[in-house]
Structure formats: C-alpha cells, structure tokens
Chain A
Amino acid sequence: MSKIVIPDAVLKVSGLGKIYGPITDGAIERTGSHVGTARDYQTGSIVAAWDVNFEVAAGEALGIVGESGSGKSTVLRCIAGDIDSSAGDVRLATFENGESNLLSLDAATRRKMRIDQVSVVYQDPAEGLALGVTAGGNIADPLTAAGWRNFEGIRARARDLLQRTEVPLDRMDDIVRSFSGGMRQRVQIARALANNPRLVLLDEPTTGLDASVAAGVLDLIRGLLEEFELAAIVVSHDFSVIEMLTERCIVMHHGRVVENALTDQLLEDPHHPYSQKLVSAARA
C-alpha cells in the first residue's frame, strides 16, 4: 500500500490501534481483513482498529469507509479522546506545535484541547447536544468554556452560527428536544464550529436523516469546510456522502486499513478485493 505524504498536514495519525480485552502475542496476526475477523479466537479480545495511518491537511476532508463494525468510529473516537486507544501517535500541528501526542494527554488537558482545536459531530445529536437546553444555550456551552463572559456577545455569536447553519433564528431560544432531526444536526454543527476548531470529526453526520434533509446538511457541511479551511474526517458507510465531501479516503475492514486512495479513484477503480466488493455493492 503506497503511503501518501501530505506536505502541510494538520493532523498526523500513525500506528493508531484499539484492542478490547487482553492483548496477547499473536493477537494482531490472528485478526484482520485477511483472516476475516477482528476477534482473536484464543482470548476473545477484539482488535477494533490496528496500524491505522493517515494525514489530513487544512481544507481537506478525509473519508473513512467500511461496513458496520469495521472500526471507522473507533478510529474517530480515539482521535477525539472519547475512548482510550491502545497504541498510536496522533499529532495536531495547531496544538503545542504538533509536539504532543494527543493520545497521551491527561483527561483535563484533552478537554481543554477539545474546546478550540477538535470538534465532533455525532450521528446521534443527543450525544453532542443537551436536548433540554435551548439552541443558543448549546452554543453558549463551548463559548463559556473558552472564556466568553459577555451575554450579548454570546448571543451574537450564537445567532451568527445558527444563521450560517440555516437554523431559523426564531427557534434560537427553543429547547433542542423540540427540533426535528435535521435541525438538531444543524445545531450540532453550529456548536461544533463555535470556537473555530482546526479539525472537525464527522461521525455519520447524515445517517438517519431522510434524503432531502441529508442533502441539505451535506451541502452545508461542504460549504463550511471550504469556508473555514477546516481539516475534517468523515466517517460513513454511505458512498454518496463520501463522494460529496471528501477527496481522499481510507477503506477499513475488520479493524485494518485495506486501501488508501483518492475518492474518485476508489469509486472507479478499487484495488483491494474488499474495496471492490464494497464499491460494487454500493453502486449496484
């Protein structure tokens, strides 16, 4: 597999791995795409992701595709720090000049880093939003965490973000639980952008939305990625999402990266047998 080197990478991920259960000698050899399972039959451990390497530049979106359980979300959540990883090195050029491995940060530093460096948009808005709080209040949360203490300033910033994400402003002071799925997702995106992060992680951002709403949210995300020169990782099992948002992508299968390619090339000429199966299934 050829390694693609990005000259001005914002994010560098190398050797990322996550194993659930005891880690024993040979666990890596007994699992993976070539074996056809992520489960080590000797110990029952799950090698959810292993030896994942990639880089993402500013203004670029990288896709991660693969079937359910292939380790896509695990990789995303390890980078975000939502779960602890078992191995690897993740560096963000804009955080401490890229001199710290994000995976080894203590919980408090990681939380501070998350405030203005990395945002996550989850598939389920309930994970990224407080549903009992107003749309404005959900945006006030990261702003106050970053030290905003001016009420009208916070209101103006929330208004601006909601406008950009096309949430009607007259709903700004309504609690998010009263919102439709698509609108909740827009609020989640507005919140994710509150402190101008450098990296946005999108975990199945449109899964569960109906086609027309999903198309609107995808348009919005694409526009914002370009406008703010964001580095992004998009996890999806839906090729139309990957095609629309990303230039490059990696294919995961049983916890391993089996292909790393330009999105156009992957869709037209997939190399790995699993990629071929995946693409032909999606295109059928």
Chain B
Amino acid sequence: MTMSAVYIGSNLDSIVGEDPGIPFALLDEESKREIRRALLHAVCIPGYQVPFGSREMPVARGWGSGGLQITLAIVGKTDIVKVIDQGDDEGVNAVNLRRLVVTSTGIEESSEVVESTIIQSRHRIPEDEMINSHTLVLQVPVPEPLRGVERDMRELARMHAEADYSRMWVSLYEDKVRNGVITQTTGYPCLVNGRYVVATTPIPRWDIPRLHNSQFLTLFGAGREKRVYAIPPYTLVEPLTFEDVPFEVEQANGAQCRLCNSSESFLVESPGTNGDAGTWTCSDTAWCRARRIK
C-alpha cells in the first residue's frame, strides 16, 4: 500500500490493524522516489517547471509544503538542516518546519550556513557564502512567471515550449512606462540557461545575483501548484531587463542595521513609534548575530 499521509493516533492504528510507524523523513519511499525523479528532471532542464504529485503534508498548502517535500525527499541521515523564514531561523513557520524535518529524520539542525548541507528558505538566500556542499530549497507560492500575463494553462505551456516571452517583455515595458522604473520586486523574472523564464519568487531582487553561476544547487518547490524547478550550479541566470535599463537591486540609501551597523546586507525597515523615523535591521538574523559577536 502506498502511504502518503502521516499515520499518527490510535484511531488510525485500529483501522490499519498494526502500527505502520512513521517512515524516515515522513514520506513513504515511493513518494520520495517520485519527488526525486521530478527533481532530477528539473535539474536536467534548468528552469523548466516539472509537475509532481504534491502530497498532503502536515502543513497547509501554500505554507511551505513544496519546499518541505523537496527537503524530505533529498534528506539523508548525515545531512544538517537550516530552515529560515524571511531570513529568520526563529520565525514560527521556520521553527515548525525544521522541527518536522528533525523529528522525522533524527538529523542535526543548525542556524549556521557553514555547518548546514540543506538550507530551506522562504523569501531569502542567506547572506553567508554558500558553496557546492549546500543545497538551497526555496518554498514557492507561484511558480509560473507568466501568470500575470496569461491565465490559460495550454497557452502558458505553448509560450514556454516556444520560448515566446514577448508578453513578459511587454509587461516590463508597461511597468517602466507607467512607473518610470521596473517596479517588480520579489519574483523578478529571470532567464535560466538562456532558455526558460522562471519566477524567482519568493526571494527579493537583492538575492538574484547570488543565483547566477552559483556554486550551490537551488531547488524550487510549489506544493499548492504541484511544480518543482531547479537552477543547477554554474548556470546562467539573467534577470529580464532592457539593454538600456540596468537591473537594480533594492537600496535603502544610508540605512544601517541598528544591531550590527551593517549597510551591505539586505535590510528590512521597522516602522517607528510616535512618528519617529523607522529603524532598519538585517533580514538575515543569523548573519547579523555572528557579526555582532565578532
């Protein structure tokens, strides 16, 4: 019997007749194998969205179930996992997902990039250098970069198949005409390996240059949309932009982290109280903490 759900509790036990136990990494072997097959497919065709049989997970779809399934499918007994949400290891979602991975596998967890082998993230790539021993797993809400310009799935499939991205270019043109700048921030469309346009959701523009020719493997998982895609190491990742409109990352001129004084990391603003100016802090909390200790 193929089991894709978690069997916990006496009621289920009585139905099944015997305690099936919780398999290593929660998912049964058939499920993990199916996800790994989709991932191999994704790595072979960089940027191509591969459908997979997204399982019911103990987190709601849209809450990182895609990234979680990838992590559970690739995790081995010697891996060390780091999970962040918005750059924060202590975010509620990050803590819960990490706890699920650790308790179902018995592996070590860490908040240090250098110690980790699998880094699951929502919204950020860690500031620390990542090398070929790392695998980055990103939780993706909307994997389809063309969703904003076309809703028909057959037409979307055709556009990707023929690399017909002119309407994506038109949307960038319209953005620039209406707003003077290209305003799209997270999910900025990028051309991978000169072939497929991907949504780099959920990371900000700031992190996009990190994906280009990276040493590490990046796996994208969208549980609700049932798609995985990948950017293998040393792959061209070019943000779509016009020749005369340079791609720019987010900037907060003169802003510094109020904890570590950094001005070279991705900063997030906290609104001030009583009309005071807002303050800035590093989005990557582990990086910020390490800097302060130094």
Contact = CB atoms under 8 A, between A and B. Distances in A.
A108 B161 contact: yes
Interface in A148-166: 149-154
A137 B242 contact: no
B164 A111 contact: yes
Contacts of A137: 170, 173-174, 177
B276 interface: no
A107 B161 CA distance: 11
Contact of B244 (A133, A140, A142, A152): A152
A141 interface: yes
A142 B174 CA distance: 14
B247 interface: no
Q: For chain A, what secondary structure do more than half of its interface residues adopt (helix, strand, loop), or is it mixed?
A: helix
Given A133-B170, A137-B177, A140-B169, A108 B244 contact: no
Given A150-B242, A150-B243, A150-B244, A136 B164 contact: no
Interface in A246-276: none
B162 interface: yes
Contacts of A154: 173, 242
A266 B121 CA distance: 73
Interface in B158-179: 158, 161-162, 164-167, 169-170, 173-174, 176-178
B293 interface: no
A21 B245 CA distance: 52
A138 B169 CA distance: 11
Nearest to B177: A173
Interface centre among B162, B164, B174, B178 (most CB of A within 10 A): B174
Contact of A145 (B161, B164, B174, B177): B164
B243 A144 contact: no
B243 A136 contact: no
A151 B164 contact: no
A134 interface: yes
B170 A141 contact: yes
B167 A149 contact: no
A111 B173 CA distance: 22
Interface string A116-137: 0000000000000010011011
Interface in B131-183: 158, 161-162, 164-167, 169-170, 173-174, 176-178
A133 B166 CA distance: 13
Nearest to B162: A108
Contact of B173 (A107, A108, A136, A145): A136
A64 to B, nearest CB: 30
A150 B165 CA distance: 15
A144 B162 contact: no
A140 B162 contact: no
Nearest to B174: A137
Nearest to B165: A144
A141 B167 contact: yes
Nearest to A136: B177
B276 to A, nearest CB: 39
Contacts of B244: 150-153
A204 B174 CA distance: 30
Contacts of A108: 161-162
B164 A134 contact: no
Nearest to B163: A108
Contacts of B174: 133-134, 137
Contacts of A152: 244
B164 A144 contact: no
Nearest to B158: A107
Contacts of A140: 169-170, 173
Given A144-B166, A149-B169, 8 more contacts: A107-B162, A133-B174, A136-B177, A144-B165, A144-B169, A151-B176, A151-B242, A152-B244
7 contacts: A140-B169, A142-B166, A149-B169, A150-B243, A150-B244, A151-B242, A173-B177
